[in-house]
Amino acid sequence: MVYREQLSKIYKDLKEQKSQLLKERDFLPEGYVNIRSYNNRYYYTWQIPKKGKQKKPFRKGITNNKDQINKLVRKRYLDGAIANIEDDILMMENVLKEYKDIDEAAVMKPFFQKYPKLKGGIHYGNMTNEEWSADYRQVVGLYEEDLKSTSASGRKMRSYGELLISSRLDFYGIPYRYEERIDHPGVNRVPDFTIRRPRDGKIFYWEHMGMVEDGVYLNDNIRKIKQYAAIGITPWDNLIITFGQADGGMDIRKIDAIIQGWLL
């Protein structure tokens, strides 16, 4: 299951990071830096706790040795970071130990062992991404004269920006519906794209605001975003908002970054 894989990767990355920090710490001096102030000046002492048959700890003034001071400051950071990572590793070990998979085989294994003939029922109502993408009706009568462009998947679209976004969604295999009306009481809005994220089925809405120089257009979109927020469709959660450039251009790299960061 994808969530277990992600948790395992985090756990592996933490252990690798701890290993790298330990290697770096091995090249730094023992002990720590002690700092005291006198007459608005700071004085630095290198201290190593006593060990073995030593009668007292080692102390050496290093006020004028900036390199040694920096090494000891770096070591203080490493000690703190390693302690935090060790706590995180322990936490991840407990998470992985207690985590319960939600895939069909894990959840339904006891049931299907008892009723093997009912295995087909688990897929009832499921749609493939392709089926979901095609199973809707695009809003009709909404400025149809502006639907002048055709996407790679054959959909009629009204703006250059929407055409580019759809081309990148198609490129990455992200299923979407174009101009499907929001089915919620009191909200009569039609987002540009309704998207189903392939890895977990989460629904996102993508609004592309192309006419950035049109104040009336932007104000209407502000009202639209407020209506979305009232029904739980919010930026940084399930609402993506992009803007066209004033000169009408688009930066495909930004579109790709959004898709890679949110939808893959």
**Confidence band, pLDDT 50/70/90 cuts, at residue 153:** confident
Where among 98, 115, 148 does a domain terminate?
98
Supply the pLDDT for residue 217: 67
pLDDT tens across 7-45, in order? Answer: 898 999 999 999 999 999 999 999 999 999 999 999 999
CATH of the domain at 234: 3.40.1350
165 and 73 co-located in one domain:
no
Q: Beta partners for 206? A: 193, 240
pLDDT(101) > 70: yes
- Residue 212 sits in which domain range? 129-263
Pair (53, 175) in one structural domain? no
CA distance 162 to 177: 12
Number of separate domains in the chain = 2
Confidence of residue 124 (pLDDT cuts 50, 70, 90): low
Tell whether the model's pLDDT for residue 179 goes beyond 90.
Answer: no
Per-residue pLDDT averaged across 246-256, rounded? 81
Q: Which one, of 164, 157, 143, 176, lies nearest residue 242 by Cα? A: 164
Task: Let me know whether 79 and 164 are in one domain.
Answer: no
pTM of this structure: 0.52
Q: Are residues 134 and 255 in the same domain?
A: yes
| Helix, strand, coil percentages in the chain from 3-state DSSP, rounded to 5 | 50, 15, 35
pLDDT in the model for residue 55? 73
Task: Quote the mean pLDDT of the chain.
Answer: 84
Q: pLDDT by residue (tens digit) across 53-77?
A: 777 888 999 999 999 999 999 999 9
pLDDT in tens, 211-224: 666 667 677 778 88
Question: Are 247 and 197 in the same domain?
Answer: yes
